[in-house]
Amino acid sequence: MSEALNEQALARYRNDFLKEVEERVEEGEWVKMCMQCGVCAGSCPFGPHWQHSPQKIFMMIRAGKREEVLTSDSMWMCTSCYNCVVRCPRQLPITQIIHGLATYAHRLGLAPRDQPTRHFSRLFWKNCTRAGRVNELKLTLGLYFKDGLVSGIKKAWALRNIGLGMLLAKRLNPFELIRGHECSDKAGIQKMLKKAHELENRRRGFQE
Amino acid sequence: MTQAVATNQTILVVGGGISGVTAALEAAECGKDVVLVEKNPALGGRTTMLYRYFPKLCHPTCGLEINLRRIKANPRVRVLTMAEVTGIAGTRGDYTATIRIAPRYVNGNCTACGACAEAVETMVDDPFNYSLNRTKAAYLPHAMAYPLRYVLHPSIIGTPDAERAKAACKYSAIDLDMKEETIKLKAGAVIWATGWQPYDAAKIQPYGYDRFANVITSVEFERLADPRGPTGGAILRPSDGKQAKNVAFIQCAGSRDENHLRHCSRICCMASLKQTNYVRESYGEEAKSTIYYIDIRAIDRFEEFYAKVKSDPRVKFIKSKVARIAEDAKTKDVVLHGVDTEGYHRYANTHDLCVLAIGMEPSVPAERIPAEVIADSSGFIEATPEGSAIFGAGCATNALDVNRSVQSATAAALRAIQVINQVARAEA
């Protein structure tokens, strides 16, 4: 599905990656407004730890470096602190664009496979949309066991005191593992999400 | 001077900076009667507060001297200082302006001998040096002040200091009973030339102008370089008086920023390029200037000046808008953080002093002008409404350098003269 989407996008936009971003990425139409002053890059608390700063990503989009942008793990490093948005002299919604790019890269299947934030996002989405409620126990365990059984048991063991404390404080219910609480109209929620997905596809020109 | 007679063939010029003075003189020298209203105690405005002009690096005193001489020689120009226009009523060819005149407490007998300043003990912030130093509460606004007359700071009125000043004056020039007065003047046309003010640098939070002693604005740096400034022309940093040999200039401080001023202030690039010369002249080969910029806008034909500064090995250019400034707690040096656009390198550079090339905003934003004008989104006057005779001049209309302000003022004078000629023909 995602490969087909990627093929379509390639055929449709050819070398015009900026146009692709403008039409298909949330708030993407703002990218061309960047004047490359560098305040976002300098203001980002994660700055030294990611490969491409927002400033660099925007320039890469304009330079048509599609592959490099969409496979970059930088968008997944954003912590949504909004420092860049507050300071941008052109008031670009930088955080939103960065998340938009991450989402788009994910849909096209180009986002880095083992990126932990991406993994968590998928886990969260699946967990949350299944029953219309987040099952925190399942979500946490899912994250612990992402690298296999042994490493999962080790992580759980290391945090056993916290878990026990939460159990005693009634912040953790072990029976959630069996069934868990659910939204009363589960089917309704899923129908709504399906509709939203369709609407987005239509608006962005995705064909599935 | 307050009993100025004016008719509807008079041109009222609001603001006595370089634009207002120019407009008043151009009109008066064409034979029109002019009333020039200035808020401060002396004419000249922000131009007098500059050390040197770009691109020739000459001193503003020179041009100022010529203009003041023209004013003194011309009986058609009447000057009201410490006066503010609070209202304008009427229509083209028939305006009535309300003018509030603040008391100076010194009358025309003053010979500027300075005896009152010696007698007074109270010190007040010196507005001429952007409050970088303090001056006596009886003071001459600056060395070339016109009118050449002392002023008493209102804070000492009613104190023994005021009496001391009065007693010290041999010419009965001090009149402590002066009151604020409001007068009304007729005018056929109005030239609005209230000029600019530096943007409030403390609002640019990441640069810490209000937190760090060694972050100053370009207008303050101009005073530091001036021999008549607070340091006698030595470029010393405020925290400890150490020689500032390694100076950083941050461009677009407040300008081109939707969070602050959305316009390009136009003069700041040239001002910083000019100011690197001050550092060079003071410290020779030991001088080090670094300009942080988005792009250098050496307007018009000044590209050559930029090229000259660029060829100086003691001036470095870094293409980057600085993200934030930190202070070294021990040395009080400033540390500039950011990422440069040419290569995306992260930097943390230490400097002795940081100068913010501060943006220009109109002193009186259009919505506070007591008359109808067409303004742009920054509050500058863009045009005169159809059928009106209120014309903007100088920095009230845009961010301009001295040269362009003078051009703009001459244009405004010509428009005003045309209105007066029409009025005169109608009345003849």
| Tens of pLDDT, residues B139-163 | 999 999 999 999 999 999 999 999 9
Contact call for residues B126 and B132 (beta carbons, < 8 A): yes
Closest-CA residue in chain A for B294? A37
B346/A48 Cβ within 8 A? yes
How many contacts, defined by CB atoms under 8 Å, are there between A and B?
60
Are residues B294 and B391 located together in one domain of the fold? no
Q: Which residue of B has its CA nearest to A84?
A: B323
Residue A15, pLDDT > 90, answer: no
Domain boundaries, position B16: 10-101+180-195+363-427
Measured between beta carbons, which residues in chain A are less than 8 angstroms from residue B341?
36-38, 55
Asked if the Cβ–Cβ distance from B339 to A38 is below 8 Å, we say: yes
Closest residue in A to B347 (Cα–Cα): A42
Query: pLDDT tens digit string along B24-76?
Result: 999 999 999 999 999 999 999 999 999 999 989 999 988 889 999 999 999 99
Domain ranges of chain A: 2-112, 116-197
Task: Nearest chain A residue to B322 by CA: give it.
Answer: A39
* Phi and psi torsions of B252, nearest 5°: 55, 40
Any idea what the CATH number is for the domain that residue B72 is in? Answer: 3.50.50.60
Helices (DSSP H) in B259-299: which residue ranges?
268-283
Q: Do residue B46 and residue B185 come from a single domain?
A: yes
Chain B environment of A56 (Cβ under 8 Å): 344
Residues A172-184 pLDDT 10s: 888 888 878 888 9
Task: Read off the pLDDT of each residue in B182-197 and give the average, rounded to a whole number.
Answer: 97
Number of domains chain B is built from = 3
pLDDT at A48: 82
pLDDT at B301: 82
Q: Which residues of B touch A53 (CB under 8 A)?
A: 339, 344
Same domain, B159 and B285: no
Chain B hits for A86, CB-CB cut-off 8 Å, are 259
Q: Is the pLDDT of residue B1 over 60?
A: no
B255 CA to chain A: closest CA distance, Å?
9
Shared domain for B323 and B348, answered yes or no, is yes
* Long-range Cβ contacts of B123-130 (<8 Å, 24+ apart): B124/B153, B124/B155, B126/B230, B127/B40, B128/B48, B128/B49, B129/B223, B129/B229, B129/B230, B130/B49, B130/B217, B130/B219, B130/B220, B130/B223
| β-strand partners of B87 | B98
Is residue A1 predicted with pLDDT exceeding 70? no
Give pLDDT, residue A208.
64
Instruction: Give B81-93 pLDDT, tens digit per residue.
Output: 999 999 999 999 9
Query: Which of A34, A36, A37, A39 is the best mutation test for B, with the most CBs of B within 10 A?
Result: A37
B232 lies in the same domain as B354: yes
Q: What percent of chain A has pLDDT over 90?
A: 63
Q: Give, in degrees to the nearest 5, the angle at Cα B134 between B129 and B138.
A: 100
Considering the domain architecture, whether residues B339 and B373 belong to the same structural domain is answered as no
CB contact under 8 A, A89 and B256: yes
Q: Do A47 and B294 touch (CB under 8 A)?
A: no
* Residue A47 sits at the chain B interface (C-beta within 8 Å): yes
B349 and B324 both lie in a single domain: yes
Cis peptide before B55 (omega within 30 of 0): yes
What's the Rg (C-alpha) of chain B? 23
Residue B139: is it exposed, middle or buried by C-beta count within 10 angstroms (0-12/13-18/19+)?
Answer: buried
Comparing alpha-carbon positions, the chain B residue that sits nearest to A59 is B341
Could you tell me how many residues make up chain A? Answer: 208
B316 to chain A, closest Cα gap in Å = 17
Q: Write the residue in A41, A42, A89 that is nearest to B258 by C-beta.
A: A89
Of B329, B325, B345, B353, give the one whose Cα is nearest residue B337: B325
Q: Structure pTM?
A: 0.92
Same structural domain for residues B70 and B186? yes
Do A47 and B258 make contact, defined as CB atoms within 8 angstroms?
no
In the prediction, which pLDDT does B2 show? 44
pLDDT tens digits, one per residue of B265-324 = 999 999 999 999 999 999 999 999 999 999 999 987 899 999 999 999 999 999 999 999
d(CA A10, CA B23): 62
Average pLDDT over residues A99-108: 95
Which of B314, B344, B360 is the last residue before a domain boundary? Answer: B360
Query: Would the pLDDT of A61 be above 70?
Result: yes
Whether B332 has a pLDDT exceeding 50, the answer reads yes
For A92, the closest chain B residue by CA position comes to: B258
Using DSSP's 3-state secondary structure scheme, residue B109 falls into: coil
CA dist B252 → A21, B61, B180, B375, B400 (Å): 29, 28, 40, 22, 15
List pLDDT tens digits, range A33-51. Answer: 999 999 999 999 988 888 8
Neighboring chain A residues of B259 at a CB cutoff of 8 Å: 86-87, 89, 91
Give which of B204, B295, B321, B342 to mutate to test A binding, by max A Cβ within 10 Å. Answer: B321
Determine, for residues A53 and B322 on separate chains, whether the beta-carbon distance falls below 8 Å. Answer: no
Closest CA to B179 of B109, B101, B116, B249: B101
Distance from CA of A192 to the nearest CA of B (A): 38
Do B119 and B135 fall within a single domain? yes
Mean pLDDT comparison of A68-72, A166-170, A171-175, A178-182, highest-scoring range = A68-72
Among A36, A42, A90, beta carbon nearest to B323? A42
Determine whether the interchain pair A37/B346 forms a contact, defined as Cβ–Cβ distance below 8 Å.
Answer: no
Strand boundaries in B188-339, DSSP class E: 189-192, 196-198, 215-217, 246-253, 288-293, 315-319, 324-327, 334-339
Encoded tokens for B106: 């010194």
Distance from CA of A195 to the nearest CA of B (A): 38
- On whether any CB of chain B is under 8 Å from the CB of A39, the answer is yes
Q: Residue B38's pLDDT is what?
A: 98
Candidate CATH numbers 2.102.10.10, 1.10.1060.10, 3.90.650.10, 1.10.3720.10; the one for domain A2-112: 1.10.1060.10
> Residue B346 above 60 pLDDT?
yes
